[in-house]
Homo-oligomer: A and B are copies of this chain.
Amino acid sequence: MSRLASTINDIANKAGASVTSVSRVLNNKAGKYRISKETAKRILKAAAELDYKPNELARGLRLKKTHTIGLVIPDISNPFFAYVTRNIQRVAHELGYSLVVCDTDENLPLELEHINLLMSKGVDGLVIMPVGQDARHLKRLVKESVPLVLVDRCFDELDTSSVVVDNYAGAFTGIEHLLECGHRRIAIIQGLANTYSNTGRVQGYTDALKKFGIRPDPELIFGGSFREETGYNETKRILSMSERPTAIFATSDLITLGALQAINEMGLDVPNDISVLAFDDTDFAPFLKCPLTVIAQPKESMGEIAVKLLVDQIKGRGKQQTQKIILKPNLVKRNSVKRLVQKEVAVAHA
C-alpha cells in the first residue's frame, strides 16, 4: 500500500462529485441510485487517471467480507498436501478469493493459534485439514456458523461439510492385494494416532487381515506420525526383527520415503527382500528403482471440491445442509509387491 495510493475521495475531488456517487458508480450501482451518465463518465475517467485501486481493508471492514479464505494445513512439505494446496489456490482464485496459508506442523495448539489469527483477519471461510485429535475448537467455529470445510480428515461427531478419502476401503483393498500375493506377515507403519485418516487406514488393514483369517499382530503395528523420520526409524526396526515381515504398508508418502531410505541403507532390495505398499502416490513413483504399488488418492479433485463447497457456504447457497464427500482411492499396481504364490493358491487360503 503505497502512501500515494489514491482513494475514493481523490476521485470525488477530481471529478467534482461526492464520495457517495463515486462509490456507487465504481460498484455498478449507478443504475440503482440513478446517477446520470454524465457524472458516471466523469467519475470513471477520474478513477482511471488516478489508477484507483480500492482499499480492500476498508472495504472488508465495511462489508464484513474480505474475499479471502484461510487454509490450515498440517504440513506443506508433504507432497500430497502441496498438491491439494495448489488446486485450492487455483480454484479459489478463479472464484475471486485469495488464500492465506497456514502450516500447523501437525501441532494442535498451533492450529488453534492459526485459526484465531485467520478469524481476526476476517477471512470469509476456512478450509482446514485438521491435526485431528481434538475437535473442540472446530465445534466452536461450527456454532458460530463460520463457513468451514474439512479436508482429508474429518470428525464424525461434527456437522461440517468435508471432503475425505475412503481410507478404510483404500487400505482394505491394498492389504487384500498383498494377501492375494501370498503375504501373511505384513507390518504397518501408521501415521498420527487418533486421526481420521490414520484410523481408517489401520482399520482397513486389520479388517483385511481378519477377512483372510489372520489375527492382526500388535507387534506388527509401528509408527505414530506421518513424517519421513518415522518411516525411516520404524523400517529399520521392522527389518531387524527376528521373524521379518514380508511386506510393509507405509501409510503416507513421507513414511514411504523414509522407508525407502532405510531399506536402501541396509542394502536390501524391493520387492525381493521386502515388499512395499504405499498410501499416496508420487510423481516419481513409477521411476523408482522399484516402481511403487500404491493406493493413490484423488488429490486433483479434493481441493477443487473443497473450495466449491466452501464458496457455496459463504454465498449462502447450499446453506441448507452440510455435505460429506467421500472420494474413492485407487489401487495402482506396479512392482513393489512381490507375488509369493500363485493367485489360485492365495484364494484357496481365503
Binds B, one of A98-106, A150-158, A200-208: A98-106
What's the Cα separation between A102 and B97 when bound, in Å? Answer: 10
Task: Choose, from A175-183, A211-219, A256-264, A316-324, the stretch at the interface.
Answer: A256-264
Q: A33: CB under 8 A from chain B?
A: no
Please indicate the chain B residues that have their CB under 8 angstroms from the CB of A289 in the complex: 287-291
Number of copies of this chain that the complex holds: 2
Report which of B57, B86, B257 forms a contact with A283, defined as CB distance below 8 A: B257
Instruction: Report if A93 contacts B (CB, 8 A).
Output: yes
- What is the CB-to-nearest-CB distance from A148 to chain B, in angstroms, rounded to a whole number? 12
A21: Cβ under 8 A from any B Cβ: no
Is A57 touching B100 in the complex (CB atoms < 8 A)? no
B144 touches A2 (CB 8 A): yes
Q: Does A64 contact B (CB under 8 A)?
A: yes
Q: Which of A114-134 contact B (CB under 8 A)?
A: 116-123
Contact across chains for B122 and A57 when beta carbons are under 8 A apart:
yes
A4, A101, A260, A289 pick with most chain B CB within 10 angstroms: A101
A79 at the interface (CB under 8 A from B): yes
Taken residue by residue from 12 to 37, chain A's Cβ proximity to chain B (1 for < 8 Å, 0 otherwise) reads as 00000000000000000000000000
Contact of A53 among B64, B116, B286 (CB under 8 A): B116
The minimal Cβ–Cβ distance linking A152 to chain B, given in whole angstroms, is 17
Asked if B284 and A122 sit within 8 Å, CB to CB, the answer is no
Q: Which residues of B have CB within 8 Å of A103?
A: 86, 89-90, 93
Q: A144-B2, A264-B286, A282-B284 are in contact. Are A101 and B89 (CB under 8 A)?
A: yes
Known interface pairs A89-B76, A288-B289; A121-B56 also in contact (CB < 8 Å): yes
Provide the residues of chain B in CB contact with A105, threshold 8 Å: 90
Residues of chain B lying within 8 A (CB to CB) of residue A5: 119
Chain B residues, Cβ within 8 Å of A284: 257, 260, 282, 284-285, 288
Across the interface, which residues of B come within 8 angstroms of A283, CB to CB? 228, 257
The reply to whether A120 and B55 form a contact with Cβ atoms under 8 Å apart is yes
- For A58, give its contact among B61, B82, B89, B119 (CB under 8 Å): B61
Which residues in B have their C-beta under 8 angstroms from that of A120?
53-56
Complex contacts, A118 vs chain B, CB 8 Å = 98
Check A76–B68 contact: CB distance below 8 A.
no
Task: Contact check, A77 vs B82: say whether CB atoms are below 8 A apart.
Answer: yes
- Known pairs A55-B122, A257-B287; list 11 more (Cβ under 8 Å): A1-B123, A2-B119, A2-B146, A55-B61, A56-B120, A58-B61, A66-B121, A68-B121, A76-B89, A86-B103, A260-B287
